[in-house]
């Protein structure tokens, strides 16, 4: 299968890329890892006349801590595998490592990028849910300069984001959870290895011991494949934030997630009713696992 | 939509040998390897980035060559199954392990499996069975049931560890 013909550009800088995007507006796509775009082009579901390949742009592939140590900054061209295997990510934001490892298959992770996946805004994508749970920020650059967009504002709809046609994502940054009391989990239900999520739930928690029990001081819950885009389970978060963490509050949070998501029937991965039930179940399991990790149990993903 | 896009010059180092061609931007890397360079060891299986039969190494990392344009490989280093055997024609330890452990039946998926195993063993020279299974989760085999493929990769890992070879 060959895509339709297109003209190919491989600019060396973000500025040059943004200029090309503006010049060919309406008929142009950015090529990053290509793991979604190239299959769409081969199936001729997308046939841009111009491709701007940003793989040769320098300075978009990095993972580092901000100068103040408060956030983890990830260049948009960072491959999923780099996030999966980075010791810094594993230590500071293990939710990202766990989510990265669940994407596609190893070859896809060697090529696919975090910026490309977010820009694609596939409702079944894993990164949107994960960045929602961590309340991350997307930094973009266009002809009129840089701006930062919260992940909630960035994800607009199915395959639609707040990115303007002449803007390029340059960075994704997430707040680093506190060193003590933080735990996370990304849980994904798949039909088979490498499949898109049937449902995916990302949970980031911070817990605090008080005299009468364990309280949740931060709760972030992002959902994948449970609506027109990756969703924040805001009501579920509300059931946990500043509440005592008990079996009951966790049950309330999971039934809130079950109610607030909006999955659709799909012939491959199950009915909306089934997915809704799985949203509740996976929210409960992911909150329990994140809580266990926050309390130093349950292995990988403390923080 | 544009028609008749100009051909672009591409220079790729494939299995240690520099190749320069002019190609249409839409030419996929797998077709470049097979049709422009005659390296038909890299197979087209599903053509939808599921099956992994077209797996090659790009600058040492395993990728599916049906989901990349040849122009993207300009200036880069590609290794295909043809580049695995030694100069003396001796099989690479991974190929030898597939041979000795009956790691293939029809052989269609084998080049992709071997290339993926090469990347996997470079990343992790001593993988557990589970790590091997996860490592080849992007490669489909419809004959073997995977048992002997996993065994072949385990044996290749052992052989490569004992002669201090981490793959080419």
Asked if residues A75 and A59 have their Cβ atoms less than 8 Å apart, the reply is yes
One-character DSSP codes across A13-24: SHHHHHHHHHHT
pLDDT of residue A96 exceeding 90: yes
Establish if A301 belongs to a structural domain: no
Q: State pLDDT tens for residues A217-228.
A: 999 999 999 999
pLDDT of residue A244 exceeding 90: yes
CA atoms within 13 Å, Cβ hemisphere of B65: 34
Q: Which residue, among A42, A47, A46, has the nearest Cα to A7 in the 3D structure? A: A47
Q: Specify whether A17 is located in the same domain as A114.
A: no
Of residues B71 and A144, the one with the higher pLDDT is B71
**Residue A300 pLDDT level (bands cut at 50, 70, 90):** low
Establish if A23 belongs to a structural domain: yes
Q: Specify whether A170 is located in the same domain as A187.
A: no
A183 SS3 class? strand
One-character DSSP codes across A61-112: --EEE-TTSSEEEEETT-BHHHHHH-HHHHHH-HHHHHHHHTSS-HHHHHH-
Instruction: Tell me, yes or no, if B4 comes closer than 8 A to chain A by beta carbon.
Output: yes
Asked if residues B70 and B31 have their Cβ atoms less than 8 Å apart, the reply is yes
Q: Specify whether A206 is located in the same domain as A260.
A: yes
Instruction: Tell me, yes or no, if A59 comes closer than 8 A to chain B by beta carbon.
Output: no
Residues in A closer than 8 angstroms to B135, CB to CB, are 106
pLDDT of residue A142 exceeding 70: yes
CATH class belonging to B93-162: mainly alpha
Residue B2 confidence (pLDDT)? 47
**Residue A302 pLDDT level (bands cut at 50, 70, 90):** low
**Residue B163 pLDDT level (bands cut at 50, 70, 90):** confident
**Domain enclosing residue A33, as ranges:** 7-56
Q: Specify whether A37 is located in the same domain as A69.
A: no
Q: Specify whether A30 is located in the same domain as A75.
A: no
CATH topology of domain B8-80: Ubiquitin-like (UB roll) (3.10.20)
Q: State pLDDT tens for residues B83-142.
A: 999 989 999 999 999 999 999 999 999 999 999 999 999 999 999 999 999 999 999 999
A138 SS3 class? strand
Q: Specify whether A221 is located in the same domain as A282.
A: yes
pLDDT of residue B167 exceeding 60: no
Q: Specify whether A260 is located in the same domain as A193.
A: yes
The CATH number of residue A17's host domain is 3.30.43.10
DSSP H/E element including B58: strand B55-58
Q: Which of A135, A150, A175 is the last residue of a domain?
A: A175
CB atoms closer than 10 angstroms to residue A260: 19
Report the distance separating Cα B109 and Cα A203, nearest Å.
Answer: 38
Asked if residues A137 and A151 have their Cβ atoms less than 8 Å apart, the reply is yes
Residues in B closer than 8 angstroms to A51, CB to CB, are 25
The side-by-side arrangement of strands in the sheet containing B55-58 is B17-23, B8-14, B77-79, B55-58, B61-64
pLDDT of residue B159 exceeding 80: yes
Report the distance separating Cα B92 and Cα B110, nearest Å.
Answer: 13
Q: Specify whether A255 is located in the same domain as A290.
A: yes
Residues in A closer than 8 angstroms to B123, CB to CB, are 85
Interface test with A, best of B9, B32, B63, B153 (most A CBs within 10 A): B63
Interface A:B, Cβ pairs < 8 A: 99
Structure letter (DSSP) for residue B88: T
What are A164's two structure tokens? 């303007």
Asked if residues A203 and A286 have their Cβ atoms less than 8 Å apart, the reply is yes
Establish if A92 belongs to a structural domain: yes
Distance from the B47 Cα atom to the nearest Cα atom in chain A, whole angstroms: 7
Query: What total number of domains does chain A contain?
Result: 3
Instruction: Tell me, yes or no, if B3 comes closer than 8 A to chain A by beta carbon.
Output: yes
Q: Judged by CB atoms within 8 Å, which residues 93-152 of B form the interface with A? A: 116, 119-120, 123, 134-135, 137-139
Q: Specify whether A138 is located in the same domain as A37.
A: no
- Mean pLDDT (chain B) is 95
Q: Specify whether A140 is located in the same domain as A48.
A: no
**Residue A193 pLDDT level (bands cut at 50, 70, 90):** confident
Report the distance separating Cα A126 and Cα A49, nearest Å.
Answer: 29
Establish if A16 belongs to a structural domain: yes
Average confidence (pLDDT) over B56-76: 98
Distance from the A241 Cα atom to the nearest Cα atom in chain B, whole angstroms: 36
**Given B1, B72, B137, which is nearest A193 (Cβ)?**
B137
**Given A55, A85, A106, which is nearest B72 (Cβ)?**
A55
- Mean pLDDT (chain A) is 96
**Residue B168 pLDDT level (bands cut at 50, 70, 90):** very low
**Residue B165 pLDDT level (bands cut at 50, 70, 90):** low
CB within 8 Å: B64 and A108: yes
CB within 8 Å: B67 and A55: no
Long-range contacts of A262-267 (CB under 8 A, 24+ apart): A262/A226, A262/A227, A262/A228, A262/A231, A263/A199, A263/A225, A263/A226, A263/A227
Residue A1 confidence (pLDDT)? 84
β A182-189/A199-210 pair status: antiparallel
CB within 8 Å: B138 and A53: no
Residues in B closer than 8 angstroms to A35, CB to CB, are 49, 67
Q: Specify whether A165 is located in the same domain as A188.
A: no
Q: B87-98: string of b/e by CB count within 10 Å (b at 16+)?
A: eeeeebbbbbbb
pLDDT of residue B1 exceeding 90: no
Strands (E), chain A: 7-9, 28-31, 50-53, 63-65, 71-75, 137-142, 145-150, 155-157, 160-161, 168-175, 182-189, 199-210, 213-224, 231-232
The CATH number of residue A136's host domain is 3.30.465.10
Asked if residues A63 and A55 have their Cβ atoms less than 8 Å apart, the reply is no
Report the distance separating Cα A165 and Cα A48, nearest Å.
Answer: 13
Domain boundaries, given as residue ranges, for chain B: 8-80, 93-162
pLDDT of residue B3 exceeding 60: no
Structure letter (DSSP) for residue B1: -
CB within 8 Å: A107 and B52: yes
Q: Which residue, among B140, B137, B136, B138, has the nearest Cα to B156 in the 3D structure? A: B136
Establish if A121 belongs to a structural domain: yes
β A50-53/A7-9 pair status: parallel
Interface test with B, best of A77, A110, A188, A191 (most B CBs within 10 A): A110
Instruction: Tell me, yes or no, if A42 comes closer than 8 A to chain B by beta carbon.
Output: yes
Residue A34 confidence (pLDDT)? 98
Residue A113, beta-bridge partner list: A79
Phi-psi region of B34 (alpha: psi -120 to 50; beta: other; left: phi over 0): alpha
Average confidence (pLDDT) over A48-58: 98
Percent of chain A with pLDDT over 70: 98
Structure letter (DSSP) for residue B103: -
Q: Which residue, among A285, A234, A239, has the nearest Cα to A132 in the 3D structure? A: A234
Query: What is the ipTM metric for this complex?
Result: 0.95
Asked if residues A169 and A76 have their Cβ atoms less than 8 Å apart, the reply is yes
Q: State pLDDT tens for residues A195-218.
A: 999 999 999 999 999 999 999 999
Q: Which of A159, A175, A191 is the last residue of a domain?
A: A175
Interface test with A, best of B66, B69, B120 (most A CBs within 10 A): B69
Average confidence (pLDDT) over A262-270: 94
Q: Which of A157, A175, A193 is the last residue of a domain?
A: A175
Residue A301 confidence (pLDDT)? 56
Average confidence (pLDDT) over B18-37: 98
CB within 8 Å: A27 and B27: no
């Amino acid at each position: 299968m060959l895509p339709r013909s297109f003209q190919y550009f491989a600019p060396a800088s973000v500025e040059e890329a943004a200029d090309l995007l503006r010049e060919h507006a309406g008929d142009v796509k950015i090529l990053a890892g290509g793991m979604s775009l190239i299959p769409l082009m081969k199936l001729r579901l997308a046939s841009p006349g111009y491709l701007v390949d940003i793989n040769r742009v320098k300075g978009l592939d990095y993972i580092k801590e901000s100068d103040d140590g408060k956030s983890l900054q990830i260049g948009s061209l960072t491959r999923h595998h780099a996030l999966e295997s980075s010791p810094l990510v594993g230590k500071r934001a293990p939710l990202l490592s766990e989510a990265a490892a669940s994407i596609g298959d190893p070859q896809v992770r060697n090529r696919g990028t975090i910026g490309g996946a977010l820009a694609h805004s596939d409702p079944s994508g894993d990164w949107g849910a994960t960045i929602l749970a961590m309340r991350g920020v997307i930094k973009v650059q266009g002809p009129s300069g840089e701006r930062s967009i919260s992940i909630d504002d960035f994800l607009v709809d199915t395959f639609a984001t707040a990115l303007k046609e002449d803007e390029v994502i340059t960075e994704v940054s997430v707040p680093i959870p506190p060193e003590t009391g933080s735990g996370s989990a990304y849980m994904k239900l798949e039909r088979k290895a490498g499949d898109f999520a049937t449902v995916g739930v990302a949970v980031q928690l911070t817990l605090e011991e008080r005299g009468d029990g364990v309280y949740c001081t931060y709760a972030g819950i992002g959902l994948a494949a449970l609506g027109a885009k990756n969703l924040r389970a805001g009501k579920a978060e509300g059931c946990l934030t500043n509440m005592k963490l008990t079996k009951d509050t966790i049950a309330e949070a999971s039934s809130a997630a079950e109610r607030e998501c909006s999955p659709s029937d799909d012939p491959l991965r199950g009915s909306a009713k089934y997915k809704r039930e799985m949203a509740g179940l996976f929210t409960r399991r992911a909150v329990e696992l994140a809580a266990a990790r926050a309390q130093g149990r349950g292995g990988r993903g403390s923080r | 939509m544009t028609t008749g896009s100009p051909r672009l010059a591409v220079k790729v180092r494939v299995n240690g040998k520099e190749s320069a061609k002019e190609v249409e931007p839409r030419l996929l890397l797998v077709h470049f390897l097979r049709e422009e360079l005659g390296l038909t060891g890299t197979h087209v299986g599903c053509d939808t980035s599921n099956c992994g039969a077209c797996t090659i190494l790009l600058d040492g990392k395993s990728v599916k060559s049906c989901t990349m344009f040849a122009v993207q490989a300009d200036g880069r280093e590609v290794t295909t199954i043809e580049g695995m055997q030694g100069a003396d024609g001796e099989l690479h330890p991974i190929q030898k392990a597939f041979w000795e452990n009956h790691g293939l039946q029809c052989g269609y998926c084998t080049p992709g499996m071997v290339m993926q195993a090469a990347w996997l063993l470079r990343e992790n020279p001593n993988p557990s069975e589970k790590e091997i299974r996860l490592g080849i989760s992007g490669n489909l085999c419809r004959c073997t049931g995977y048992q002997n493929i996993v065994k072949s990769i385990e044996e290749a890992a052992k052989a490569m560890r004992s002669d201090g070879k981490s793959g080419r």
